[in-house]
Amino acid sequence: MSNITKKAFPVLNMHCAGCANNVEKTVKKLAGVVDASVNFATNTLSVSYEADKLTPGEIRAAVLAAGYDLIVEEALKEERQEEAQEKHYRLLKRQVIGAWIFVVPMLLFSMVLMHVPFSNEIQLILALPVMIFFGGSFYVNAWRQARLGRSNMDTLVALSTSIAFLFSVFNTFFPEFWYSRGLEPHVYYEAAVVIIAFVLTGKLMEERAKGNTSTAIRKLMGLQPRVARVLREGIEEDILIDQLQTGDLVVVRPGEQIPVDGRLSEGESYVDESMISGEPIPVEKKVGDRVLAGTINQKGAFVIKASGVGSETVLARIIRMVQEAQGSKAPVQRIVDRVTGIFVPVVLCIAVLTFVIWLLVGGTDYFSHALLSAVSVLVIACPCALGLATPTALMVGIGKAASNHILIKDAVALEQMRKVDVVVLDKTGTLTEGHPTVSGWLWAQVQEEHFKNVLLAAELKSEHPLAGAIVSSLQEVEKIVPAQLESFESITGKGIKVVYQGDTYWVGSHKLLKDFSASLSDVLAEMMVQYESDGNSIVYFGRGTEVLAVVGQRTALAVSGKLGIDRFVADALPDDKEEFVRELQMQGKTVAMVGDGINDSQALALADVSIAMGKGTDIAMDVAMVTLMTSDLLLLPRAFELSKQTVKLIHQNLFWAFIYNLIGIPIAAGILFPVNGLLLNPMLASAAMAFSSVSVVLNSLSLARK
């Protein structure tokens, strides 16, 4: 397959969940698009596409044709989105204030002064500014969608207010049509303008609440300095952060944020890395040590040689990871998307059916009832509440996790973690620091002078973490010099073998001992019993079929005993770890795998929830759904609890959104009229609609306070 590129683009001019669905459908139809997802809560399009078939400019052109817009330029993308959102918020605020200025006197004429001369004409004049200037965007957007054969929330608002307004205009200028039939020509200008005022007010409150859900992202972005001090030809120069290049020498003074990833080339200091590691104690930095963008220099000044700038810094990758996670969709959201995709057409059908049934039941006498009920159905229906139910909760949940140094890459993980009933943990680097020490030596026979030299030379070539302990013991403590080996071979999962002066030596696990058909003497076997009972692992060193020595180190048994872990698997290869996870899944368990190394990647990929340690390998973090940025495993229960809270919140939001529509639409249609004469006024319907979407967002925000 061609080169697949995944990017996230801010989307402009979306007004409801229907808009998000329209943008998503538009992009998915483009040739070269593998997948596309739009998050209405974050106003973000996440798209995977074939870079040789499609460009961001072409994606934007398609979105523009659909009546929306994208920010595709990478430079200051987040700032531009925030600026656009702030501009939209200010526009909404002006529209709301302007609309209510005309609505208040309109209500006075419709309820108190309805019998004064030219009352209907005055109401018409008051309604026009609201319809044209403050609510005009509803009609423009609805027309754009209609031309494309689509519909959204604007469609419902435009239809309902247009029907009420045009009917009122007809009754204003042609009242005789109804008088001749013995009916009163009522006008509903107030309903049209109040609907617009309430919907605009709801959107304003919704926008403000949505802004609060992205607090985590804004805090992370606030950690990025805007300006860097660069040393060029011995002269310090302040430049914008996006002008930095790899290899630049960057000067950082005490108290300043570090603008790039790199290594110290001059000076020394202590750096506060708590934003990355969660550790409150500043870390000492000397020449050659690595520093990260966004961390804070504490004491001395130093010069950094930049190795990661702009989007390539660790902080930028964290921000990108959180944004992508907030834009991803939980499994339950896919069901909601299908519902919202057909929501508006279904509501339109219900409104028409409501109108027809009223006329069939009551004839022309019930024409006003039929019209008002149809308008109320159009107004009270709220796809926004459904569209916001899941993404707003996910945004808050993932943002809260990020503030606790838990990076969630995929919303699926956030939903799945609550189901986990088995946690599988890698030992070295996860449960332990990964820096073992030699606890003792058992020599099977009198040592020959070169034995330790050969062992040291062999372990120096080994990449196994346990080899470091033997190297440290021989080289640093005993000052042994490595021998000159004739050959070296690594045996995956077992150990290594080398050739020295024509003899084959080996060092490794019990599996390697068996491969060489070596056996332990009775004396050595008895001595090993005590080693194992003290919680030591065993590394064997041999020559041919002879066991020369046994080296004691800590075992999985010892670690598991200290931590209260019931079941462990020692000396597990990557395939063994994968098979262990698969075995648990076949037993019906939902498995979370926690690891830090390349050897864990198979098991991480297979697990239902994969969790990587932040200090582990890049491969492990790429594979994992969740990354713990610190070495503190106590973050795990926090992550699981946060998953439960977030999913509970999603279910609450969906319940109220569905219940609202299931109850509200039939009441608006007039189902209670035969029982108690209740007929819902369109103005009340619009207020209820505005409240429903705002309440969903506010409920999501409650998670941030827990």
> CB neighbours (10 Å) of residue 104?
11
What secondary structure does DSSP assign to 138-206, as a single string? HHHHHHHHHHTT---HHHHHHHHHHHHHHHHHHHHH-THHHHTTT------HHHHHHHHHHHHHHHHHH
Pairing between strand 290-291 and 487-491?
unpaired
How distant, in Å, are the alpha carbons of 344, 387, 597, 673, 695 from that of 659?
A: 17, 14, 47, 20, 13
- Copy the structure tokens of residue 414: 């956030």
Where are the strands (E) in 509-647, listed by range? 536-543, 546-554, 591-595, 609-613, 626-628
CA angle 577, 578, 581 (to 5 degrees): 85
First to last CA, the chain: 46
Q: Which of 302, 227, 322 is nearest to 262 (CA)?
A: 302
Cα angle 150-384-107, degrees, rounded to a multiple of 5: 100
Residue pair 349/392 in contact (Cβ under 8 Å)? The answer is no
Amino acid at 293: A
Order of all β-strands in the sheet with 591-595: 406-408, 626-628, 609-613, 591-595, 422-425
Is residue 426 flagged as an active site residue? yes
Q: Mention every residue, 6+ apart, whose C-beta is less than 8 A from residue 601.
A: 574, 595, 619, 620, 623
Count of other CB atoms within 10 angstroms of residue 627: 21
Run of H or E residues at 468 = helix 465-471
Q: How many CA atoms lie within 13 A of 28 on its CB side?
A: 10
Q: 569: Cβ–Cβ under 8 A, 6 or more apart, which residues? A: 556, 576, 577, 580
Q: Where are the beta strands (DSSP E) in 360-428?
A: 406-408, 422-425
Tell me the C-alpha distance between 428 and 187, whole Å: 77
Please identify which of the residues 426, 596, 600, 608 carries the catalytic annotation: 426
Which residues are the active-site residues? 426
